[in-house]
Structure 1
Amino acid sequence: MVCSRLLHALCCCFCRITDSVPGDELKQSKVPRHPRHSTNHPQKVTFPTMESMEWFNIILRQLWPNSQHYVNHLCKTTIEPVLRSALEEYRLTSFSFDEVDLGQIPPRLNGIKVYDEPSLREIVVDVDFEYFGDSKIKASVSELSFGIDEIKISGRLRVVLKPLIGHYPLVGGVHVLFLESPHVSYNLTGSANVFDLPGLRSIIRRALEEQIEQLMVMPNRLPIQIANDIDVAEFNCPIPAGVVRLHIVEAENLTQKDFSILNKGKSDPYCIMRIGLQNFRTEIFKNTTNPKWDACKEYVCSSDVRFGNEIHFEVYDHDRMTDDDFLLMTSLSFQEIWKNEIDTWLPLTETDSGRLHIKATWYDLSDSADSLQTQLEEMSAIQLPTKKPLHSAVLVVWVDSVRNLNDHPGTYVRLSVDDLEQATKVSERANDPLFRQGFVFLVRNPWTQKLVVEVVEQKHSRPRGKVEVDLNTILNEPKLEVRGKEFALEGDWGGTATLRLNITLRILKKTVAEDADCVAAESE
């Protein structure tokens, strides 16, 4: 019975991937893509390092016809409102799914790898997923009808079973995500040459592709709750495991790409760092083959990040008139960084010249304010004056609900820490809107910064109630957190209206080498 619940959850999430997010090509990044990132898909992809999953494919094939009703319900109640909101930004209104036909061909799982780490209290599974099916979707937007067929999706899919509980069904829920943007292609069809309208095809494609990234490409993940008695906030927005501080120091002996009468052979190099959906790009150094970028970037990491995840580095030569030239590629695994401090020249691939100098440090997250001063002093010592500031803490905010509004407009909650801003989804007309969304911020100095939370009326995009929380007050709380606290709203919706929040602060703390050795010994 337990297995059937888990299989049902996995099947449901596969259905959601397959029918909610079509696109007719690999997502185009704002930064260059190396030629190896091709959008052409083989008819059959095999991964010999993974264990076979033919037994599960047989189960999935038999379950597939029974998923039709669930997928139709999912599209109408969950995916349709999100896409409707996204397309309204492009002045395309009234989006709706008219028909969703799953077809006869189910997804395939070509391999599986389960990571053996009992100390994590979760089970991490990677599967190589592909869907080259015959499903068909009919939809309409702004009184124009169109169809989607020949959908193809493939990529490395991660399934995290957590939390592990001591009673039926033994697993509280499942988190599902792609480790990198999956390869996606599809065919758009439309009556009366609907896609001949200028820009309409690209607008619809862009809106659809953005949804899969926001839904479940790392660091985003899709939570599927199985047990009813688990902590919803902790399951949907767990406290991160740590922060990695990456320092792209320099490169040397790069290939000379630019030649002219005045320029005897140099390049204008810059470096791109990729982690899942996140990209970071350094500045461009002119006329050199030995750039010194000294650029830092910090990433908040989940507990499963060290399994099978890599940080990719690519160096390009900037050209104003033509496409930028590829110079070198290399990577660093999170397993190497975890509980370690790295200062190394990375080996390169696909190039005969050049190397890249990288520093990386893993920081655990402490629930004690005692480590804050040490972290601030360390930041000050390594701070690069011309770069973005580093951070000393992580702030996790769970927006649960708003109660006792004076009227019933569509509302959403907007959160900000200085110039960093995030927002919940819109809750339609309700006197007590329920949001239940979590957000993570990197914080420079909790002693001086504040969290601002605003309840915004969607129609006029203006805040009607506000709560301000000085983060130094959280430093005085036990374990640096407040849970389930009702904050009184200030503003138009003041009086009896309240906002229910969980606020958790965690301080970055460098792991001592001896502690890392102890952890490794315990895991053995």
Structure 2
Amino acid sequence: MLLPLAFQRALRAEDIGTFTISVQVVKVTFPDMESAEWLNLLIRQLWPSAEQYANELCRNTIGPALRSALEVYKLKSFRFEEVELGQTPPRFTGIKVYDDQALPEVVMDVDCEYFGDGKIKASISDMPIGIEDMQLSGRLRIVMKPLVKDLPLVGGVHVLFLGKPKLSYNLTGTANVLDLPVVKSILYRAVEEQVERLMVMPNKLPIQIVNSIDVADFMCPVPSGVVRLHIIEAENLAKKDIGILNMNKPDPYCIMRIGLQNFKTETFKNTSNPKWDACKEYLCSSDTRFGNKIHFEVFDHDRMTDDDFIFMTNLDFQEIWKNEIDTWLRPTESNSGSLHIKATWYDLSDSADSLQIQLEEMCALQLPTKKPLHSAVLVVWVDAAKNLVSRHRFRKKSEPDTFVRVIVDDVKKESTVRERTKDPVYREGFVFLIRNPWTQKLRLEVIDRRRTERRLGRVEVDLNSVLNEPKLEVRGKEFDLQDSGDEEERATLKLNIILRILKKAATETNERVAVE
């Protein structure tokens, strides 16, 4: 290395005494997201070939869901006619790949924006409409899983937005119905809801690449864990508006946000130090802990005007995954107020031996919070039905339009409608939090949508029976549909039922930290 000229002269000088070298240290920081030009080149080459997949996705997945959503507003017979992606592909402005070789998957985040020239042609109530001038931007997560040993080395891809993307578009068409602002707002909201249900966290869009992987495990994987969050209290909250009756103290409540999932505490009156003691549990996939935060917002309730924002703060998922958290969170942009929370990550066990311990812990926590907590996770995969028969008033058989309603206590979830077939293939999964598998039941109802939602049959399963199964799993079993009303052919519903028990183990947490 060559020394500066002045420094060399000083070293050659005979009368050199002492000298001082001043070194300035410059801190170099690396951006969180790296350049993604290589990915933009790849997408540009693949874009012309993606149009067929986009058409199939709109017609087979988004179309039926939009049709059901719009029928609530008496807008019937929605369908996609044609999807043109145009010449302009989406652009990725940054990329980050998370390094964790312990996981059998690759997790990648990309900042994407799309200002495209694509056009979508559709119809509603037999009137043509169009969607064009689409703009979309947000942070997109791509999870490559499972990793397989044969080429292309990746069995499939899960795609999701970490938060609600910014989405705008124009509706066109000759239908006079689009001139009505109310109808336009219904269509806009229906499209936004379907985007959220399709691929905004925790929802994911699965894209299967190879046929050799298990479809049920890929489309509806068992969660990696459950985070139990306890909003205990806040202190030193500032009053945002001073009224005659409220004096100088707020009426605070807290909202907790994780992706699309929100939870609101009760509102306490006239206090700067509320003690909420509120618990909420969230299902987490294996990639949740990467780059995700839990957001807390505290508001001052006002009966006359909009509620006033007091402060916000957040907690990194990675911190919860490492250790059990019991801390006071300071506001991100305010000097007053703080929030006391506890957070615990629970792994999921396939052994029934963990249940009693979890039930005891759950009961102890429920006493102060007065909120129902859970001891287990239930995954239900609805594969297919056979020999479904619908009869109208003249007793004539017809092929029904059916969906499956999955029920645990008062929680109901529904599959997409499969039209005009007696042997529908649903291939959809549903996940529930369970309080006590010893006492709760799983119910499924097959509904004919065309016959004023007439039930074509039902299945009822005691979850206690699943606890006796190896690894707490029932896979590929065809259950007879009760009350199917057809004695000639047996109607069945093919299901996977998987139970997992919440388990907190300090040794497992320490092992995770050691690996990292």
Return the TM-score normalized by structure 2. Answer: 0.88
Q: What is the CA–CA distance in structure 1 between the aligned matches of 2:319 and 2:108, rounded to whole Å?
A: 20
* Structure 2 residue 417 is matched with structure 1 residue 426: yes
* Structure 2 residue 173 is matched with structure 1 residue 179: no
Q: How does 1:4-153 map to 2 (within 5 A)?
A: 48-153=31-136
Work out which of the two has the higher radius of gyration on C-alpha atoms and give 1 or 2. Answer: 2
The structure 1 segments of at least 4 consecutive aligned residues displaced by more than 6 Å after TM superposition are none
Q: What is the CA–CA distance in structure 1 between the aligned matches of 2:358 and 2:104, rounded to whole Å?
A: 29
Q: What is the CA–CA distance in structure 2 between the aligned matches of 1:510 and 1:339, rounded to whole Å?
A: 12
Deviation at 1:339, TM superposition (A): 4.5
Q: What is the CA–CA distance in structure 2 between the aligned matches of 1:316 and 1:58, rounded to whole Å?
A: 46
* Structure 2 residue 448 is matched with structure 1 residue 465: no
SS for the counterpart of 2:89 is: coil
* Structure 2 residue 502 is matched with structure 1 residue 519: no
Q: What is the CA–CA distance in structure 2 between the aligned matches of 1:448 and 1:472, rounded to whole Å?
A: 7
Q: What is the CA–CA distance in structure 1 between the aligned matches of 2:49 and 2:439, rounded to whole Å?
A: 55
Deviation at 1:138, TM superposition (A): 3.6
- Partner of 1:40 in structure 2? none
Q: What is the CA–CA distance in structure 2 between the aligned matches of 1:417 and 1:137, rounded to whole Å?
A: 38
Q: What is the CA–CA distance in structure 1 between the aligned matches of 2:443 and 2:106, rounded to whole Å?
A: 36
Deviation at 1:316, TM superposition (A): 0.9
Q: 1:503 aligns with which of 474, 486, 497?
A: 497
* Residues 339 and 474 of structure 1: CA distance in aligned 2, closer, same or farther (over 3 Å): farther
Whether the 8 Å CA contact 2:127–2:175 is kept in 1: the answer is: no
Q: What is the CA–CA distance in structure 2 between the aligned matches of 1:68 and 1:477, rounded to whole Å?
A: 45
Whether the 8 Å CA contact 2:140–2:159 is kept in 1: the answer is: yes
CA deviation vs aligned residue, 1:413-454 (integer Å, no higher than 9, x gap)? 111111111111111122221111111110101111111111
Root-mean-square deviation over aligned CA pairs: 1.9
Q: What is the CA–CA distance in structure 2 between the aligned matches of 1:481 and 1:63, rounded to whole Å?
A: 40
- Letter in structure 2 aligned against 1:238: P
Q: What is the CA–CA distance in structure 2 between the aligned matches of 1:88 and 1:406, rounded to whole Å?
A: 24
Q: What is the CA–CA distance in structure 1 between the aligned matches of 2:222 and 2:48, rounded to whole Å?
A: 38
Q: What is the CA–CA distance in structure 1 between the aligned matches of 2:268 and 2:181, rounded to whole Å?
A: 38
Q: 2:249 aligns with which of 266, 270, 275?
A: 266
Deviation at 1:99, TM superposition (A): 4.5
Q: Where does the alignment leave 5 or more consecutive residues of structure 2 unmatched?
A: 1-29, 391-398
* Structure 2 residue 220 is matched with structure 1 residue 226: no
* Residues 77 and 427 of structure 1: CA distance in aligned 2, closer, same or farther (over 3 Å): closer
* Structure 2 residue 375 is matched with structure 1 residue 392: yes
- Letter in structure 2 aligned against 1:469: V
Q: What is the CA–CA distance in structure 2 between the aligned matches of 1:69 and 1:380, rounded to whole Å?
A: 53
Q: What is the CA–CA distance in structure 1 between the aligned matches of 2:124 and 2:52, rounded to whole Å?
A: 23
Whether the 8 Å CA contact 1:424–1:435 is kept in 2: the answer is: yes
Q: Which moved more, 1:338-347 or 1:81-90?
A: 81-90
- Partner of 1:414 in structure 2? 405
Q: 1:362 aligns with which of 342, 345, 361?
A: 345
Q: 2:468 aligns with which of 476, 490, 509?
A: 476
Deviation at 1:51, TM superposition (A): 1.3
Whether the 8 Å CA contact 2:375–2:501 is kept in 1: the answer is: yes
Q: What is the CA–CA distance in structure 2 between the aligned matches of 1:319 and 1:367, rounded to whole Å?
A: 47
* Structure 2 residue 429 is matched with structure 1 residue 438: yes
Q: What is the CA–CA distance in structure 2 between the aligned matches of 1:103 and 1:303, rounded to whole Å?
A: 35
* Structure 2 residue 287 is matched with structure 1 residue 296: no
Whether the 8 Å CA contact 1:94–1:141 is kept in 2: the answer is: yes
- Letter in structure 1 aligned against 2:453: S
Whether the 8 Å CA contact 1:488–1:494 is kept in 2: the answer is: no
Deviation at 1:178, TM superposition (A): 0.6
- Partner of 2:447 in structure 1? 456
Q: 1:212 aligns with which of 187, 191, 195?
A: 195
Q: What is the CA–CA distance in structure 2 between the aligned matches of 1:399 and 1:101, rounded to whole Å?
A: 32
Whether the 8 Å CA contact 2:375–2:502 is kept in 1: the answer is: yes
* Residues 437 and 320 of structure 1: CA distance in aligned 2, closer, same or farther (over 3 Å): same
Of all paired residues, the percent bearing the same amino acid is 68
Return the TM-score normalized by structure 1. Answer: 0.87
Deviation at 1:342, TM superposition (A): 0.7
Q: Which moved more, 1:373-382 or 1:252-261?
A: 252-261
SS for the counterpart of 1:398 is: strand
SS for the counterpart of 1:290 is: coil
Deviation at 1:328, TM superposition (A): 0.5
- Partner of 1:31 in structure 2? none
- Partner of 1:489 in structure 2? 481
- Partner of 1:27 in structure 2? none
Deviation at 1:349, TM superposition (A): 1.2
Deviation at 1:472, TM superposition (A): 0.8
Q: What is the CA–CA distance in structure 1 between the aligned matches of 2:481 and 2:52, rounded to whole Å?
A: 42
Whether the 8 Å CA contact 1:405–1:493 is kept in 2: the answer is: no
- Partner of 1:286 in structure 2? 269
Deviation at 1:129, TM superposition (A): 1.1
* Residues 479 and 337 of structure 1: CA distance in aligned 2, closer, same or farther (over 3 Å): same
SS for the counterpart of 1:120 is: coil
